[in-house]
Amino acid sequence: MKTSLLLSLSVLACGKSDKAADTKAGAAAPAIDVAGVNALVPADLKAKLVFDKTDIVEERGRHNITYTMAAPKGWAPHMKGFASLKGGDDLGFFTSLDVGSNCDGSCEPKDWAKVADKVNFAQFDKDKVIKNEAKPGSRLLIAERDGKTTFVVYAWWTEGAKRYNTCTATLDEPVKTAGDAFAKACQAVGVSGAD
């Protein structure tokens, strides 16, 4: 099963009324380094992948959550109700970028590192790990499956929050070498509209 479907199902587990992961009041939005992300796009993909500062909106009932990040130009929303972008068919059928929040059941403070390991990262245990960086409040994984697909998964949280955030890119063979660019993009996501 592909990661974007699993991410979508995990977001649904929280229920329709959930908001993005809690953030500290007055916390500054992360610096979105579009030039830095574009610099990491492999030379042979620069014509296909150009990142720009983008708002990705998750429409949930009467309340929308906006995720602002560097995302590929021309990618379009592909699932109503989710903050998800899809690349063109020439980039691979499953190529996508998804952001969201999760609480894995009841939305209350939990050990988010442990939850994210179970929900977002365990599915890559048998894949070739290219990068695996765990820090206080976040984890980044870049993994390759069967030499054809690269997955970028970034999860971040604040201690005591009721939810955690995720950014996931599934990169099929035509763009599988762009993992570092997507990883940098995923590590700077602004969240607005959360309660």
How many structural domains is the chain composed of? 1
Domain around 125 = 3-192
Which of 193, 149, 165, 188 minimizes the C-alpha distance to 71?
A: 188
Q: Of all helices (H) and strands (E), which one includes residue 141?
A: strand 138-145
Does residue 134 surpass a pLDDT of 90?
Answer: yes
pLDDT digits (tens, 9 = 90+) for 35-92: 999 999 999 999 999 999 999 999 877 788 999 999 999 999 988 788 999 998 899 9
C-alpha distances in Å from residue 105, one per residue of 7, 11, 120, 174, 181 = 14, 10, 14, 36, 32
pLDDT digits (tens, 9 = 90+) for 17-36: 344 444 433 355 689 999 99
Q: What is the CATH number of the domain that holds 170?
A: 3.40.1000.10
Least confident piece of the model among 6-10, 87-91, 157-161, 176-180? 6-10
